[in-house]
Amino acid sequence: MNRGAVLHIPMSEYAYGVDEEHVTIRLRCGRGDLLQCVLYFGDRACRQTPVVFTKQEMKVAASDLYFDYYETTLSHPYKRLNYYFELISKTERVLYYGDCFMEGCVDDRSEYYQFPYNHRADLVSPPAWAKDAIIYNIFPDSFATGRGYLSEKPVQKEFAGETVRGKLGGTIKGIAENAAYLKELGFTAIYINPVFAAGEYHKYDLLDYYHIDPCFGTNEEFRDMVRIYHENDMKVIIDGVFNHCGWKFFAFDDVVKNGEKSRYKDWFYRLDFPVIRPENSEDYPGYECFGYERMMPKLNTQNPEVVEYFCGVCQYWLKEYDIDGWRLDVASEINDAFWESFHQAAKEVNPDAILIGEVWETACHWLDGKKFDSTMNYDFRKHCRRFFGDRSIDAFEFDSRVTNMRMRYRAQTVYAQLNLLDSHDVSRFLSLCDNDRKRYKLAVLFQMTFPGIPSVFYGDEMGISGILEEEYRAPMKWKEENEDLFSFYKKAIALRRDYEALRHGKYRTVQAEQGSRLYIYARETDSVTIVIALNADDHVCSLPEMIGSGEIIWQEGLNGLDLAPMGWIVVITDKKRCSTH
């Protein structure tokens, strides 16, 4: 037994309340190391000594390149738990508790692992609708001026004496007038990049947090847009930029004008007085910024006044305009206490509002139920890029990576993660597939059948490509017919919406072999198993017989049990015949 591979962390994704009546316990060990893993759990407040333990067999829930993850979910357990593990390999049997390997039990219950109390307040509970959401991400300047139309003309207007600019003519009205288009595709929600008053076309250099940018429209037009989307059964999520503001934001402007006498000097980080806005973009400013962007001074989100101001912004748009949530920019660079206050403010107004943090790295820290419900899952994109895009990994390693990605979070978090292939910050995934639409379609089908919220960037369904910023933020292709990709997206989205197992079901690897690019996985509920096979190889692959016995929902390139290069098949099959490879 490789004892160095054994890991259990109490009060984490390895031991958590699913709800008030269920607790999930996990243990990690070396891949293929154990023959058996057994959980023993008892009431930590038990009046007997030694504690009376109950035995529960654990099963391998997932495996990655190096580890097996054993898991069990206790139904209606004691509210207060202590527990230990029995680990059995070919060569030894050992108990594991308190991060120690032991030969036997002890009377002192404090030495065992503890789950002190399954508190309702500590449960991680993303909004229930998140599991069913399919999001369309709109970059407002690039999307639409009207129904099926983008002017592609620059716009310049005035706001509070400052010039604000648009680049391609997108508007709030344009978003509203294309609700039917998105409904036809099957989306259930939209996420809109920043819409508040700001200097540049991207609107991340904010002037004001209470007004829609005049290049995009008015507050009333925004209110009307939200109403239209709600009438079409789609939710509206907007972008919140609270790590930094624009350098013409009223508080920073006051600091520039009044220096150390400004009442807002503590709203910002590391100011050198006098505060000067550098004219040369290559100069380093005398104040902390987002990166080194001189036009985006960093806010001091530890300051109670700043916290109060932006929690007010949060509640204003939830209350007055009935938005359904926030995507939160540069979330990982803001202190925890700010996000905890923001979370509380949002949930006070609408407990079902979703909070999605922009976190590019492993996000466990922010997904404890007190900050965010979800994060932008850039790891999903990264792994898809390696398998479908540059094709540098095989099915075995791809499965290992997505398994590791799933097992680092609580189960309820996995189903709320925002799984994206594209965003306004990265090259289009179609370009990363060398504009090979067959490879691209495999990635999109994987996205639509994986646990979590699929997020589609505007124009992906029309084949927008591009490596550079100007290219991947290109004008929406309203005038170009792209029936092939449009129809594919429509069918892939309908597939996800039609089958609950693809939204709520457990995920299980069926086949992922070293040296192969055939990847087969299943989504399962108590009543249905759906198996998906993706052939990302350049040659025909043979499928296991159990797929042939299933009911085909959708396929491309199937001939008997042979699957053509870049082909796929989605089947409903008898789960008893679908064994894990």
Active site residues: 329, 358
**Closest C-alpha to 244, from 198, 212, 211:** 198
Phi and psi, residue 541, nearest 5°: -120, 145
Residues 6+ apart with CB under 8 A from 344: none
Amino acid (1-letter code) at residue 14: Y
Cβ-in-10-Å burial (0-12, 13-18, 19+) of 299 comes to buried
Q: Dump strand ranges (E) for 438-517.
A: 453-457, 506-512
pLDDT at residue 574, rounded to an integer: 60
State which amino acid sits at residue 544. Answer: P
Report the alpha-carbon distance of residue 502 to residue 529 in Å, rounded: 9
**Per-residue pLDDT of the chain in tens (581 residues, 90 and over written 9):** 999 999 999 999 999 999 999 999 999 999 999 999 999 999 998 888 899 999 999 999 999 999 999 999 999 888 899 999 999 999 999 999 999 999 999 999 999 999 999 999 999 999 999 999 999 999 999 999 999 999 999 999 999 999 999 999 999 999 999 999 999 999 999 999 999 999 999 999 999 999 999 999 999 999 999 999 999 999 999 999 999 999 999 999 999 999 999 999 999 999 999 999 999 988 899 999 998 899 999 999 999 999 999 999 999 999 999 999 999 999 999 999 999 999 999 999 999 999 999 999 999 999 999 999 999 999 999 999 999 999 999 999 999 999 999 999 999 999 999 999 999 999 999 999 999 999 999 999 999 999 999 999 999 999 999 999 999 999 999 988 788 999 999 999 999 999 999 999 999 999 999 999 999 999 999 999 999 999 999 999 999 998 888 899 999 999 999 999 999 999 998 654 444 43
C-beta of residue 22 within 8 angstroms of C-beta of residue 75 = yes
Going from the C-alpha of 119 to that of each of 17, 110, 147, 316, 346, the distances in angstroms are 8, 20, 49, 30, 21
Cβ atoms of 70 and 37 within 8 Å: the answer is yes
Which H/E stretch holds residue 319?
helix 304-321
**Which residues are paired to 237 by β-bridges?**
191, 325
CB 445 within 8 A of CB 402: no
SS3 422: coil
Looking only at the bridges linking them, the beta strands covering 354-357 and 81-88 are unpaired
Give the residue from 507, 512, 510 showing the smallest Cα distance to 524.
Answer: 507
Q: What CA–CA distance (Å, rounded) separates 456 from 188?
A: 12
Residues in the chain: 581
Burial per residue of 14-52, b for 16 or more beta-carbon CB atoms within 10 angstroms, e otherwise: bbbbbeeeebbbbbbbbbebbeebbbbbbbbeeeeeebe
Q: Do 294 and 275 contact (CB within 8 A), yes or no?
A: no
- Give the pair of three-digit tokens for residue 306: 């700043």
- Angle between helix 304-321 and 336-349 (nearest 10): 30
Note the pLDDT of residue 578. Answer: 44
Q: Tokens standing for 566?
A: 């870049």
Residue 51 makes CB contacts below 8 A (sequence gap 6+) with 42, 43, 44, 82, 109, 112
Alpha-helix runs per DSSP H in 374-477? 378-384, 395-407, 411-414, 429-432, 437-449, 469-472
Sign (positive or negative) of CA dihedral 449, 450, 454, 457 = negative
- How is 46-84 classified by DSSP, letter by letter? -SSSSPPEEEEE-EEEEE-SSEEEEEEEEES--SSEEEE
Distances (CA, A) of 166 to 79, 195, 477: 56, 11, 18
303-334 as b/e: b if 16+ CB within 10 A:
beebbebbbebbbebbeebebbbbbbbbbbeb
Supply the pTM of this predicted model: 0.96
Main-chain dihedrals φ then ψ at residue 301, nearest 5 degrees: -80, 5
Beta strand pairing call for 15-19 and 22-30: antiparallel
Q: What pLDDT sits at residue 184?
A: 97
- The CA distance from 344 to 335, in Å, is 15
Residue by residue, what is the 3-state secondary structure of 326-383? EEECCHHHCCHHHHHHHHHHHHHHCCCCEEEECCCCCCHHHCCCCCCCEEEEHHHHHH
E-strand ranges in 212-276 read 235-240
Rounded CA separation 214/196 (Å): 9
Which residues contact residue 200 at a Cβ distance below 8 angstroms, ignoring those fewer than 6 apart?
165, 295
- The reported pLDDT for the residue numbered 581 is 36
Calculated CA dihedral for residues 324, 325, 327, 332, nearest 10 degrees:
-170
CA atoms 400, 404, 410, 412: torsion sign: negative
Task: Identify the CA nearest to 384 among candidates 427, 455, 447.
Answer: 447
Q: The tokens 């129809």 sit on which residue?
A: 487
